[in-house]
Amino acid sequence: MTLAAYSQPRTVACRPSPECFQTSFTDAPIAIRGCVRTTLALRHAGVRSVEIAYELVGPANAPVVLAAGGISAHRHAVASDAFPEAGWWQTQSGVGLDTTRVRLLAIDWLGADGQLDVPVDSADQADAIAAVLDALSIEKLAAFVGSSYGAMVGLHFCARHPRRVCKLVAISGAHRSHPYASAWRALQRQAVALGQLQCDESQGLALARQLAMLSYRTPEEFAERFADAPTVSNGRVRVAAEDYLEHCAATWVARTSPTAFLRLSESIDLHAIDPRTVPVPTTVVAITEDRLVPLEDMFALAEALPRSEIRVLRSKFGHDAFLTETREIGNILEHALHGVCGGVA
Amino acid sequence: MTLAAYSQPRTVACRPSPECFQTSFTDAPIAIRGCVRTTLALRHAGVRSVEIAYELVGPANAPVVLAAGGISAHRHAVASDAFPEAGWWQTQSGVGLDTTRVRLLAIDWLGADGQLDVPVDSADQADAIAAVLDALSIEKLAAFVGSSYGAMVGLHFCARHPRRVCKLVAISGAHRSHPYASAWRALQRQAVALGQLQCDESQGLALARQLAMLSYRTPEEFAERFADAPTVSNGRVRVAAEDYLEHCAATWVARTSPTAFLRLSESIDLHAIDPRTVPVPTTVVAITEDRLVPLEDMFALAEALPRSEIRVLRSKFGHDAFLTETREIGNILEHALHGVCGGVA
């Protein structure tokens, strides 16, 4: 194992993305995209040479906040002048995540490019983030804000690199994957495998995504949105939610590698950490209606963490509340990030 | 439409089953299997000639109780000397369902043989049951005990044939399918379709069954049974519940026709009835943890029924509680059936 390579990650050109090193020098916050090439000792796959793509948006010298979302999230969290398309956490831009006051850092998950076809652990992701901080000469994060899988990675980051982060916000992600949620994901992976058998990955992937969406949302939301009676067309019954689910899945399939999905889905199920090993002050955010991460697990996390507070929200959007309950999440972020590292106003 | 044919259903030999007309004349309760051929006007598929297989167990002249379960249930509800294999409701045999005191009637659902490849409505099933009663010269059921889909059919039976039943027990089935549960079933049907695309129906069917099982059970049960960490084998992650889910699915696939599953699954989603049209006294049984039939829907059903009482159980088995909470269900059945039609002791 080449520890030297790990300790000195290099900033390189991403492949195949042409966007690397684009930088904005307008009045708007500076936005930088890049890649870090390094060597990581993966827990289940040995030493590997990897590339980690990142995006950093905000004023130079401002405190750095890392934002990490679910397995479908990526380095483009919020829009900027340089990269104006909506990011995966666009809803929070300026609402708890203000890129005029902080530098917002996000990465593409290890394995998200579909090139790394081995089991990836949430702890591996934490080390990948540390390598990015090394490459960017960022000594310490003001905060690590993780939602869903990002919260799992955040717990590992704080346990493994506690001196590199002042504060953790862990939204809808716990110290373990719940066994029922793991079974739900295993069936999504089976759907992909079934599609692959016929050399048409997209249909299996689309079914997997629809199954995932059911787990992200709630009966309360579906009762409101999809109350119409089913239709019988060409002798087949079609229920009210199918158009919506299929449309969302098609959009997702178009930008998702089956290998990446399988490996990141597995990674959630591999996740496990003893909360007592996380010394960083943590705000735990739980959603009462979350069908993937039961409230009980979030309470157990908060109780076992050495330094924690818990905030509980009600939301008909369940696990997806971090993408939809903008005001409540914004309030929690503002409160949690206030004054951390003496930097975030 | 040949209404005459409907009004005079004939008892015929089942095809292809060799078991028809077997009868036990030992000391044990008499057990009869048979088929009724009749003509039904199906709501979504017009007039059809159909066969309905039934089994009747218990002393001649005892009051008749009809037991109807989920879409996987069938005419063999409990074991008898003539048909000694365990039935789908074996757990309640002698516990609320005593075939020394009542005659227990059950049918194979319309469409369960896979021959009727058209949409089947829960109201069609109610009419099929009425045709069986005609053929067997059973004027009136002491009770219709329906669980899951069987409860849906029971509501229609009581609305359409109120003079043929004294009492309804509706367990874990409501006046509508919940939109979230319908979406869950639609994805099961997509899994079957994906398997059919590659001419290997069994794999799609197995995936569908595993998805269904997740909806029948609960996180509470899975947390107890499948808490082991996932394994990494041949480079793939396998979670603790997978062996169990795959084993159960394989057993089910071996005895299930894809067409039957698709049509009966659709039938649940087609189900809808105004509870105010159900004049028969009804005991509604709801399970707090049921992930398919929310407690709210069962309360709404009980409130809208003209003559109802509601019993609420807690069970980590969720929707499957009617198959596992033997004592509680037994107590409810004994209470509900006590003295109905002056017949059940």
pLDDT per residue over B207-235, tens digit each? 999 999 999 999 999 999 999 999 999 99
Please list, in sequence order, all residues whose beta carbon lies within 8 angstroms of the beta carbon of residue B49, skipping any fewer than 6 positions away: B5, B37, B38, B39
Per residue in A108-148, pLDDT (tens digit) is 999 999 999 999 999 999 999 999 999 999 999 999 999 99
Q: Is B185 on the interface with A (CB under 8 A)?
A: yes
Give contacts of A294 with chain B, Cβ < 8 Å: 219
Judge whether A148 counts as a catalytic residue: yes
Residues 6+ apart with CB under 8 A from B296: none
Residues B170 and B188 both lie in one domain: no
| A225–B204 C-beta distance less than 8 A | no
Strand partners, A170: A146, A284
- DSSP assignment of A97-159 equals B-TTTSEEEEEPPTTTTS---S---HHHHHHHHHHHHHHTT---BSEEEEETHHHHHHHHHHH
Contact B272 A238 (CB under 8 A): no
- B232-246 pLDDT, tens digit each: 999 999 999 999 999
Tokens matching residue A179: 């066994």
CA distance B142 to chain A (A): 33
The predicted structure's pLDDT at residue A339: 82
> Above 80 in pLDDT, residue B19?
no
Query: Which residues have CB under 8 Å from B83's CB, separation 6+?
Result: B19, B22, B31, B33, B55, B57, B76
Q: How far apart are CA A330 and CA A332, in angstroms?
A: 5
Domain finish residue from A218, A238, A268: A268
Contact B211 A245 (CB under 8 A): no
pLDDT over 90 at B197, yes or no: no
What is the DSSP pairing of strand B10-12 with strand A308-313?
Answer: unpaired
Do residue B145 and residue B28 come from a single domain? yes
Closest CA of chain A from B253, distance in Å: 16
Cβ atoms < 10 Å from Cβ of A149? 25
Interchain CB distance below 8 Å, B180 and A119: no
Provide the mean pLDDT of chain B: 92
- Quick one: pLDDT at residue A317? 98
Give tens-digit pLDDT for A309-338.
999 999 999 999 999 999 999 999 999 999
Q: pLDDT above 70 covers what percent of chain A?
A: 90
The band of B344, judged by pLDDT with boundaries at 50, 70 and 90, is: low
Position A20 pLDDT exceeds 60: no
Residues B128 and B193 in one domain: no
Within 15-44 of A, beta carbons closer than 8 Å to B belong to: 44
Mean pLDDT over the full length of chain A: 92
Catalytic residue among A108, A265, A319, A320: A319
One domain, residues A185 and A261: yes
Does A117 lie in the same domain as A11?
yes
Residues of B in contact with A119 (CB under 8 A): 232, 235-237
Nearest-Cα distance to chain A for B205, in Å, is 11
Q: B121 at the A interface (CB within 8 A)? A: no
As a whole number, mean pLDDT of residues B287-300 equals 98
Model confidence pLDDT, tens digit, residues A252-274: 999 999 999 999 999 999 999 99
A299/B contact by beta carbon, under 8 A:
no
Strand partners for B144: B66, B168
Domain CATH number, residue B287 = 3.40.50.1820
Provide the shortest C-alpha distance from residue A187 to chain B (in Å): 7
Domain housing B138: 3-176+274-342
- For residue A248, the domain's CATH number is 1.10.1740.110
Q: Do residues B7 and B91 make contact, with C-beta atoms less than 8 angstroms apart?
A: no
Interface probe for A, chosen from B194, B202, B236 (most Cβ of A below 10 Å), is: B194
Residue in chain A closest to B266 (alpha carbons) equals A237
Question: Under an 8 A CB cutoff, do B194 and A190 touch?
Answer: no
Q: Do B158 and B283 sit in the same domain of this protein?
A: yes
Question: Which of B268, B284, B302 is at the close of a domain?
Answer: B268
Greatest mean pLDDT among A21-25, B65-69, B197-201:
B65-69
| pLDDT at residue B24 greater than cutoff 60 | no
Q: Indicate if B100 and B19 belong to the same structural domain.
A: yes
Residues B338 and B299 in one domain: yes
pLDDT at site A19: 43
Higher pLDDT, B165 or B343: B165
pTM above 0.90, yes or no: yes
Report the number of distinct structural domains present in chain A: 2
B178 interfaces chain A, CB cutoff of 8 Å: yes
Cβ neighbour number for residue B313 with a 10 Å cutoff = 20
- For chains A and B, CB pairs below 8 A equal 152
Q: Does A46 reach chain B within 8 Å, measured CB to CB?
A: no
Residue A35 sits in the same domain as residue A123: yes
Q: Across the strands, what pairs with B34?
A: B54
Identify whether residues A120 and A138 lie together within a single domain: yes
What average pLDDT score do residues B310-332 get?
Answer: 98
Which stretch of A34-48, A231-245, B2-16, B80-94 has the lowest confidence by average pLDDT?
B2-16
Whether the CB of A207 is below 8 Å from some CB of chain B: the reply is yes
Question: What's residue A188's pLDDT?
Answer: 98
Confidence of residue A343 (pLDDT cuts 50, 70, 90): low
Can you tell me the distance from the alpha carbon of A313 to that of B111, in angstroms, rounded to the nearest whole number?
45
Three-state SS for A53? strand
Residue A7 has pLDDT above 80, yes or no: no
Please provide the DSSP assignment of B283-311 as one string.
EEEEETT-SSS-HHHHHHHHHHSSSEEEE
Same-domain status, A69 and A205 = no
> What stretch of H or E contains A6?
helix A3-7
How far B241 CA sits from the closest chain A CA (Å)?
6
Q: What percent of chain B has pLDDT over 70?
A: 90
Q: Is B181 on the interface with A (CB under 8 A)?
A: yes
* Last-in-domain residue among B211, B234, B268: B268
Q: What is the pLDDT of residues B89-136, one digit of tens each?
A: 999 999 999 999 999 999 999 999 999 999 999 999 999 999 999 999
Residues B79 and B226 in one domain: no
Radius of gyration of chain B (CA): 20
